[in-house]
Chains A and B, each alone.
Chain A
Amino acid sequence: MTSQETLYTYTLRLADNALVLGQRLSEWTGHGPFLEEDLALTNIALDTFGTATSLLEYAAKVENKNRDADALAYRRNEREFCNILLVEQTNGDYAKTILRQSFIDAFNILLYTELAKSKDETLAGIAQKAIKEVSYHFRHTSSWVVRFGDGTEESHNKIQDALNELWRFTGELFEMDEVEEALVKQGIAVDAKSFQAKWETQLDELFAKATLKKPETSFMQTGGRKGLHTEHLGYMLSEMQTLPRMLPDAKW
């Protein structure tokens, strides 16, 4: 891999995480549990798409193959997406959506804080802008995790079920391969392993406050970063990409 390809792959991984998560969140708009929360979750979706767009634009520029951000979002096939599996999981009930989001928010705060120091100025700039947003998101989602965990028996059971279901997808957040390793050496990428313990401690504290029990299994699913997805992604992409695929010559 050339250093250009490495940077492209790294940026695209970050971008796809944001794009796919934003797409999932936006499915809630108009259907939230009450009006204020509908607006709040839509805000998170908007921020997430904003970050996705900046990252995709940069990936397109680095790739330099005459593809723009929309082409990357709308014209790649399922196996070319390199988001982690966690973000493509279906929304389920509100507890599952919120818990998934709180995992990502806690992770993103740590990620973007480090990435803001990157030697790559574009990535550093995108990260700086995103830090404020994701800190707000985590304040919102973590407070709901606590409300659900320590609310009613029903809400407790729902979020405990969500935790049991989703925990196996969190290992992928911290995976590193030759792409990240090469870029960490150059001071461009973030070494996610360096803050894994911090992330786990933060979540353990959150689970304790929410009276939730982390699953005992330590087995973690993997594959998304290499294009091996769960069955959910294909449906999401066929919906998302329908118009540009249907009318390939059209501009929107």
Chain B
Amino acid sequence: MENKNFEDVFEAKLVKNDMIEAKDWMPENYRKHLIRQISQHAHSEIVGMLPEGNWITRAPSLRAKKVLLAKVQDEGGHGLYLYTAAETLGTSRDELLDALHTGKAKYSSIFNYPTLTWADIGAIGWLVDGAAIMNQVMLQRTSYGPYARAMVRICKEESFHQRQGYEIMTHLSFGTKEQKEMAQDALNRWWFPTLMMFGPPDSESPNSENAIKWRIKRETNDQLRQRFVDQTVAQIEYLGLTLPDKGLKWNETKKGYDYSEPNWVEFKNVISGNGPCNKERLAARNASHKNGEWVRAAATAYAKKNAEPFMAA
């Protein structure tokens, strides 16, 4: 009986577009869905530090190096807010990291692709962060308050990253012949994996229905993917690069582009652990966590001796 009343209050808040806060009653499924989504997002941020971090020591100018360092640091900061947002739902960073490190938790599959050239750093900022923004802009108005507020700041930084990525692509596309080839090659490799970031087609997306009902999500995978394609085609044309999709065609009826579906078999393979870098990413995360164990232990031991607060995962 009491639960029923709580549920009515919860539903009424959703209807009125009010935020659900950490101390509010919420259905158990809603809580679980959010913990899963926010922690996956947090994991994606910190795993995402690895492919981009791969080029920090080789960034080709002092400015490029500082921009990339700051960008990777931003991603770490996003991870931090998101883990904190997830903790408000009654889980701990230790538990969440443990799930990541043992391979139980998922993170964005895009980071299981390698960064082979400097142009990949441009492509990630421009395409991958661009696609992420499409998802994230709507999350600023998501129903769970702590998540929505974290997303406001994250979105601001991500749009900056997207511009930085596009700047790299511009330098390369208008640079020497080798630089332009590097840019085209990166676009060829990142285009379809980026389209996969929006998730499976709506007809096959099991989590979407509840997510939309709960205002955790506000638009479907296919809607977002379409908008991304429509927005990006002109940016590719400006660079003088060629989109690696022979099926791309303007469709006057829908006022958008028709495009080829990504290879969903590859998508499933990467998700299930067989992408080019799944093992490497997980190994790198595990190595730094393990190598940091004595550091955390030392801090904890010192804090105990000296009544100094120390909190870290």
Task: Report how far A192 CA is from B295 CA in the complex, Å.
Answer: 33
Q: A231 at interface (Cβ–Cβ under 8 A)?
A: no
Give chain A residues whose Cβ lies under 8 Å from the Cβ of B80.
35-36, 39
Considering the complex, give the chain A residue whose CB is closest to the CB of B312.
A34
Segment 162-198 of B: residues with Cβ below 8 Å from A: 171, 175-176, 178-179
Say yes or no: B57 contacts A252, CB within 8 Å: no
Q: B62 at interface (Cβ–Cβ under 8 A)?
A: yes
Give chain B residues whose Cβ lies under 8 Å from the Cβ of A36.
80, 312
Per-position binary interface string of chain B over residues 48-80, scored 1 when its CB falls under 8 Å from any chain A CB and 0 otherwise: 011011001110111111100110110011011
* B-contacting 9-mer, from A77-85, A106-114, A181-189, A240-248: A240-248
Option from A35, A46, A52, A56 in Cβ contact (under 8 Å) with B76: A35
* B-contacting 9-mer, from A130-138, A145-153, A161-169, A199-207: A145-153
> In the complex, which range does the number of interface residues on chain B fall in?
35 or more
Segment 244-293 of B: residues with Cβ below 8 Å from A: 284, 287-289, 291-293
Q: How many A-B residue pairs have CB under 8 A?
A: 140
Q: A38 at interface (Cβ–Cβ under 8 A)?
A: yes
Give chain A residues whose Cβ lies under 8 Å from the Cβ of B12.
none
A70 with B62: in contact, given A29-B49, A29-B72, A38-B76 (CB under 8 Å)? yes
A43 with B178: in contact, given A34-B313, A150-B302 (CB under 8 Å)? no
Q: A179 at interface (Cβ–Cβ under 8 A)?
A: no
Ranked nearest first, the 7 interchain pairs of A and B with the lowest CB-CB distance are A33-B292, A151-B298, A155-B298, A30-B53, A33-B295, A30-B49, A243-B60
Binding site for B on A (CB under 8 A): 23, 26-27, 29-39, 42-43, 45-46, 49-50, 52-53, 56, 69-70, 73-74, 93-94, 146-148, 150-152, 154-155, 158, 239-240, 242-244, 247, 249-252
18 contacts between A and B (CB under 8 A): A27-B56, A33-B292, A34-B289, A35-B46, A35-B80, A35-B83, A35-B312, A37-B295, A39-B76, A52-B62, A155-B295, A155-B297, A239-B58, A247-B178, A250-B60, A250-B176, A250-B178, A252-B61
